Chains A and B, each alone.
Chain A
Amino acid sequence: MEKLIRFNLNGKETEVTIDPTLTLLWVLRDQFGLTGTKYGCGIGVCGACTILVDDNAVRSCTYQVSDVMDRKVVTIEGLASNGELHPVQKAFIKKDALQCGYCTPGMIMNATSLLLSNPEPTRQEVIDAMQENLCRCGAHIRIIEAIQLAGQDMKKGK
């Protein structure tokens, strides 16, 4: 029943022997202690559990752990490098683009994926990309600004 799953997690080659059908979200949280990735809906419609798999934003609540075999997984904990926050994280702080903060990791991961494919998105492009991420506190207007700011900062090499 159990299977050896190998993947790259936040820059490190990782392996775990586990029931391969378990949900990736819970494996990340419970086996690896990466609790920055949140449960919100369990059906992939709120975005709180968003992570990067091979640089694409995916919903970890809809993935089985075996789906990431030999792939590259980045969670919110893997975004900063050597203690320095990623420009998207910095921009969320600068724009005060959060309240309760529970949706924030998913927002940041989704935005990071957007900026990898489209470094300078327009407001509308940000909205289109973020449409499936839910925030209940109503931080949307600041999140849009933060993502555009992050794009500009990344271009300037900040």
Chain B
Amino acid sequence: MKKRSKNPELATTKSRLDLKRRDFFTLLGGGVVVYLSSRNPSELLALPLIQRREVPEDFNAFLTIYEDGTVICHVGKIEMGQGPITSLPQQVADELDVSIESIKMVMGDTATCSYDAGTWGSLTTREYSHYLRAACAEARAVLIQLAAEHLKISPDNAKVKDGVIFDASNPEKKISYGWLTKGERIERSMDEKPKVKDHTQFYYVGQSLLHADSRLKVSGEAKYTADIPMEGRVYAKVLRPPSHHVELKTVDYSEAEKITGAQVVRDGNLIAVLHKFPDVAERALGTIKAEYTVDENKVDDHSIFNHLLTATGDTREREKAGDLEAGEAQADLIVESEFHDGYKAHAPIEPHAAMAKWEGEKVTVWASCQSPFGAQDQIAQELEMALEDVRVISPFVGGGFGGKIYHPQVMEVVKIARLVNLPVLLAYTREEEFFMDFFRSAAVIQIRSGITEKGLISLWDYKHYFFEARGSDTIYNVPNKLTTSYVARRGSPVQPLPTGAWRAPGANSNTFARESHIDIMAAKADIDPVEFRLRNLVDEKMIAVIEALKAKFGYTPAKGPSGRGIGMACGTDAGTWVAVMVEVKVDIETGNVQAIKAVVSQDMGMCVNPQGSIIQAEGCVTMGMGYALSEDIEFKGGNVISSNFDNYQLPLFSWTPEVIDTVILDRMDEPPQGGGEPAIICMGGALANAIFDACGARLYQMPMTPERVLAGIKLAKG
């Protein structure tokens, strides 16, 4: 054992943003601090550029153990309903050998938590928890060393239960973690890293636990950003343009300034009204007269698809194999389709919010945000501040779905609050939430495929236009294939609206296209669509997931359309193999689609909290019905017309299937994979295929609204 030295190579790559290691430990206070030294740099490449701040090698401190045995676990991850406040302690408790009740989670606070780039990509378990578990394993080993020295026993003879280390041959010789760590900061680490436990040694991991935060959430005690009490706080209301593509020409806010108690502040084009009552701030905002340039962009939610197909960009070829011409020659049948998908909002029920409080040169920000450290970076960079002068705290987050990776409200409120000597809360209205969103991209996909006489796919030519490649993998065993991505050139965006992450963003559109097309091929080849998939798959995990799906659903083969209204889709996302089967009723008079039953099957490797994973899968099914059946951003140019829940339809209680079953394959001996996103990617394809199976209507565009279903029925009757 030795005191860890800083890796000089890494040290030189760090910027002035580097939080001083000593400062960090000071913030943590007493207790044991565990250092981690190993981190696979390739995993950092998965992160957006701005977030590759630094490898959290030197100060990746996760744990503090207090005298009473309380384990404070400081993690940069945030809780937005996806459940790490429950699943991370399960892992900590097992690795440390403490009771889960002794663990207290502190999350999303840049001042006290271990760095994390952001909570996204279903990475908490499949990536972050490796480091957390390793930290715990190392802490346990260090504590055993210390205990052995104190008890004068061999560390090999020491055992741990509920945070008490004892001599295996004489259990009376014992000492607790809390006693060892009392009042001391022990900077030790293990030269040889202890192994984390394997699945046979778990007690908590693999158990189904209820949400650990539900008591706070059902009682109204849980604090979200706008709920943080703050003496003297004022609300800010920000002047918004009518379009993303216009500039402010003139502005007159003299009327707003006349309103008692209202204050107008301006930082460049950021203009806000402040008042202690949000109603009054809103009224004052309404009196501001502003003129803008004209939005010349005429693309709207109807012309967007042609716009994407004809836009200038670059092409990237992926998954190239065999020879497309040979694939065509082998084919008995060629099938071509084109699929469209409109913009989708994140629409968390909690809109973006942030509160800033300046104290001298330092600022503290509470933010509804998936990336408190990213927000901290941004503030420090834009305002040229030292990183330690910026503290960002993400309390409970009321839904994110990728939309709170972006946090424009944070910079806005920090700038506004800097102009006045008051704590300021900027809580977006629902209208702002829609306008300021970074939408899931609109999408066009073209597929040309060939099927042999034996029902095998000989050709797969897949083109997707100006949205993410995620989920565009062929997944089926095709000898001659090519995936072509049309991508925007740097500085020449093609999507007219701001776009970004969503719950598995592009994978939803890509999976809808691929899985619909597969069904079209199966129907043309007169083969049961499930059987057609299995015939064209060699991926054993995918096959096992589909077999489990069939069994759970009680599926019996039939050629489509069978009239039963059953459809499936499958794919891989966030490291997980997933398949969903749904049963729907289609009202042929109204075009309304009602889901009756949904079954999710997934191979997600080791599953930490089956209950949590099942709930995520149910959420994917329910949320997925929205993008598939009703959600579509109406817009013209840069003007986002969809503005609230009365004109952007989220799934309703009446849509809920009577049954949502989830099968999680037992893969406890394999590394954990993602659980928050995978199942949602299947919902578009599964519903499209179920609609076809019910009534013969093939839908090529999402959302599959009643009007489009009726048009599809009409076309099918031909």
From A101, A128, A138, give the contact of B398 (CB < 8 A).
A101
Q: A38-B349, A93-B218 are in contact. Are A100 and B396 (CB under 8 A)?
A: yes
Q: Is the CB of B653 within 8 A of A100?
A: no
Contacts of B213 in A (CB 8 A): 101
Q: Is the CB of A98 within 8 A of B214?
A: yes
Shortest A132–chain B CB gap in Å is 8
Judge whether A60 is part of the interface by a CB distance below 8 angstroms: no
Instruction: State which of B3-11, B23-31, B521-529, B619-627 sits at the interface with chain A.
Output: B619-627
Most B C-beta atoms less than 10 A away, residue of A33, A34, A89, A143: A89
Q: Is the CB of A76 within 8 A of B214?
A: no
Judge whether B224 is part of the interface by a CB distance below 8 angstroms: yes
Q: A35-B223, A80-B219, A85-B218 are in contact. Are A96 and B277 (CB under 8 A)?
A: no
Q: Is the CB of A102 within 8 A of B398?
A: yes
Judge whether A115 is part of the interface by a CB distance below 8 angstroms: no
Contacts of A90 in B (CB 8 A): 218
Interface string of A31-54 (1 = CB under 8 A from B): 001111111111101101000000
Interface string of B615-633 (1 = CB under 8 A from A): 1001111110000000000
Q: Is the CB of B619 within 8 A of A137?
A: yes
- Within 581-634 of B, Cβ neighbours of A (below 8 Å) are at 611, 615, 618-623
Give the interface SS of chain A, mostly helix, strand, loop or mixed.
Answer: loop
Q: Is the CB of B654 within 8 A of A131?
A: yes
Contacts of A104 in B (CB 8 A): 217-218
- Within 60-97 of A, Cβ neighbours of B (below 8 Å) are at 75-77, 79-80, 85, 89-90, 92-94, 96
Q: Is the CB of A127 within 8 A of B644?
A: no
Shortest B660–chain A CB gap in Å is 5
Q: Is the CB of A101 within 8 A of B622?
A: no
Most B C-beta atoms less than 10 A away, residue of A48, A75, A77, A101: A101
Most A C-beta atoms less than 10 A away, residue of B223, B652, B660: B652
Q: Is the CB of A100 within 8 A of B656?
A: no
Q: Is the CB of A85 within 8 A of B350?
A: no
Q: Is the CB of B220 within 8 A of A127?
A: no
Q: Is the CB of A144 within 8 A of B656?
A: yes
Complex: how many Å from CA A136 to CA B655? 13
Contacts of A22 in B (CB 8 A): 277, 279-280
Shortest A49–chain B CB gap in Å is 11
Judge whether A14 is part of the interface by a CB distance below 8 angstroms: no
Q: Is the CB of A41 within 8 A of B220?
A: no
Q: Is the CB of A35 within 8 A of B220?
A: yes
Judge whether A140 is part of the interface by a CB distance below 8 angstroms: yes
Contacts of A134 in B (CB 8 A): 349, 645, 650, 652
Shortest B262–chain A CB gap in Å is 13
Q: Is the CB of A100 within 8 A of B397?
A: yes
Shortest A115–chain B CB gap in Å is 15
Judge whether A142 is part of the interface by a CB distance below 8 angstroms: yes
Contacts of B621 in A (CB 8 A): 138
Most A C-beta atoms less than 10 A away, residue of B219, B615, B660: B219
Contacts of B646 in A (CB 8 A): 43, 45
From A41, A46, A128, A141, give the contact of B660 (CB < 8 A).
A141
From B214, B277, B401, give the contact of A101 (CB < 8 A).
B214
Shortest B225–chain A CB gap in Å is 10
Shortest B616–chain A CB gap in Å is 8
Q: Is the CB of B226 within 8 A of A142?
A: no
Judge whether A7 is part of the interface by a CB distance below 8 angstroms: no
Q: Is the CB of B81 within 8 A of A96?
A: no
Contacts of A23 in B (CB 8 A): 278-279
Complex: how many Å from CA A79 to CA B218? 10
Q: Is the CB of A26 within 8 A of B277?
A: yes
Judge whether A122 is part of the interface by a CB distance below 8 angstroms: no
Judge whether B430 is part of the interface by a CB distance below 8 angstroms: yes
Judge whether A118 is part of the interface by a CB distance below 8 angstroms: no
CB closest residue in chain B, given A1: B260
Complex: how many Å from CA A45 to CA B618? 23
Q: Is the CB of A26 within 8 A of B347?
A: no
Contacts of B651 in A (CB 8 A): 138, 140
Complex: how many Å from CA A138 to CA B184? 46
Judge whether B41 is part of the interface by a CB distance below 8 angstroms: no
Judge whether B215 is part of the interface by a CB distance below 8 angstroms: yes
Interface string of B408-445 (1 = CB under 8 A from A): 00000000000000000001011100000000000000
Contacts of A126 in B (CB 8 A): 653
Contacts of B611 in A (CB 8 A): 96
Judge whether A58 is part of the interface by a CB distance below 8 angstroms: no
Complex: how many Å from CA A103 to CA B653? 13
Contacts of A39 in B (CB 8 A): 226, 351, 427
Contacts of B211 in A (CB 8 A): 96, 98-99
Contacts of B623 in A (CB 8 A): 136-138
Complex: how many Å from CA A85 to CA B80? 23
Complex: how many Å from CA A140 to CA B655? 9
Q: Is the CB of B615 within 8 A of A108?
A: no
Q: Is the CB of B348 within 8 A of A136?
A: yes
Complex: how many Å from CA A42 to CA B279? 11
From A96, A139, A141, give the contact of B210 (CB < 8 A).
A96
Complex: how many Å from CA A134 to CA B631? 14
From A94, A100, A131, A133, give the contact of B399 (CB < 8 A).
A100
Q: Is the CB of B219 within 8 A of A21?
A: no
Q: A46-B645, A92-B218, A93-B210 are in contact. Are A139 and B653 (CB under 8 A)?
A: no
Q: A45-B644, A96-B615, A100-B349 are in contact. Are A108 and B218 (CB under 8 A)?
A: yes
- The 7 A-B residue pairs with the shortest CB-CB distance in the complex, in nearest-first order: A36-B220, A102-B398, A138-B622, A100-B81, A101-B217, A99-B81, A138-B619
15 new A-B contacts at CB < 8 Å, known A93-B218, A127-B654: A29-B227, A39-B427, A77-B219, A98-B214, A99-B81, A99-B83, A99-B211, A102-B396, A103-B349, A103-B398, A105-B220, A126-B653, A136-B623, A138-B619, A140-B653
Of the A-B pairs whose beta carbons lie under 8 Å apart in the complex, a sample of 19, sorted by A's number, is A19-B280, A23-B279, A30-B278, A35-B229, A36-B219, A36-B220, A40-B430, A42-B430, A43-B645, A46-B430, A76-B219, A76-B220, A93-B215, A99-B82, A100-B349, A100-B400, A102-B349, A133-B653, A141-B660
- Which A residues form the contact surface with B (CB < 8 A)? 19, 21-23, 26, 29-30, 33-43, 45-46, 48, 75-77, 79-80, 85, 89-90, 92-94, 96, 98-105, 108, 123, 126-128, 130-131, 133-144
